[in-house]
Amino acid sequence: MVYILNNTREAMHLLKKLILSSQVRRVQSKGNNGLPLSFDQLVAGYEFPVTSYELDASIISKYLEAVGRRSEQHALATKFVPPLVIAAYTMTALSKSLVLPPGSIHASQELEFFKLVPIGITINCRGRVTQKLSRGKLRLLVIELDALNQDEEKVLSGKATLVLPS
């Protein structure tokens, strides 16, 4: 296959896409033949398949309706995505690779925002299990996540600690 590259930016973009695509294949090969993994199948260090979603205006509108129309009005007024939308969507996107038992709850959460994100952007999500604990009836999962824009720049990172019912 021959690509005609108009400029360096296009070449870089293509290179990033190729790297991303190889990473997708790499992490999927560690999974469960594409099926969601259960707590028992997870190991510390497991990397979730890279996944993407688009933050269009309808998503933002639905989110703002849920959290209260006045929420993050600054972000809305300036056409930027409230960062908590990215956090919520990234968590949801990654959790599709897991079978979390009903009743799982959040114990703690860390979030850091790095860039303003314009509405309409596609976010690539990366995540990994950094800790898995099982003591008696207590089951704990620590997941680190990164959300990247189309240029593979990190816009948000986070760490979630989840408590799973036994």
Partner 1 sequence: MPILNQELKPSDIHQGDNLPPVVKHVTQKDINLYAEASGDFNPIHIDEVFAAQTPLGGTIAHGMLILAYMSEMMATAFGESWLSRGKLSVRFRAPARPKDTITVSGKVGSIEHKEDTSYVNCTVEARNQSGEAVVTGEAVVKL
What phi and psi, each to the nearest 5 degrees, are found at residue 79?
Answer: 65, 25
Quick note: the x/- pattern for partner 1 over 8-47, rule CB under 8 A, is: ----------------------------------------
Which stretches of 26-153 are assigned E, i.e. beta strand? 37-38, 51-54, 98-99, 105-113, 122-135, 138-148
Q: How far is the CB of 137 from partner 1 (least distance, A)?
A: 10
- In degrees, rounded to 5, the angle at the alpha carbon of residue 32 between the alpha carbons of residues 156 and 30 is 60
| Whether 137 contacts 149, CB under 8 Å | no
* Helix (H), strand (E) counts: the chain: 4, 7
* Strand 37-38, strand 98-99: pairing: parallel
Torsion of CA 51, 160, 106, 82, to 10 degrees: -70
List the one residue from 17, 25, 30, 106 that touches partner 1 (CB under 8 A).
106
Contact region with partner 1 (CB under 8 A), list: 4-12, 38-46, 98-106, 123-131: 98-106
115 forms part of the interface with partner 1 (CB under 8 A): yes
**Among residues 27 and 94, whose Cβ is nearest to partner 1?**
94
70 forms part of the interface with partner 1 (CB under 8 A): yes
Contact region with partner 1 (CB under 8 A), list: 9-17, 32-40, 63-71, 123-131: 63-71
List the one residue from 27, 42, 55, 87 that touches partner 1 (CB under 8 A).
87
**Among residues 4 and 77, whose Cβ is nearest to partner 1?**
77
Burial degree of 48 (CB within 10 A; 0-12, 13-18, 19+): buried
Contact positions vs partner 1 (CB under 8 A): 59, 62-63, 65-68, 70-75, 78, 80, 82-84, 87-89, 91-92, 95, 100, 102-116, 165
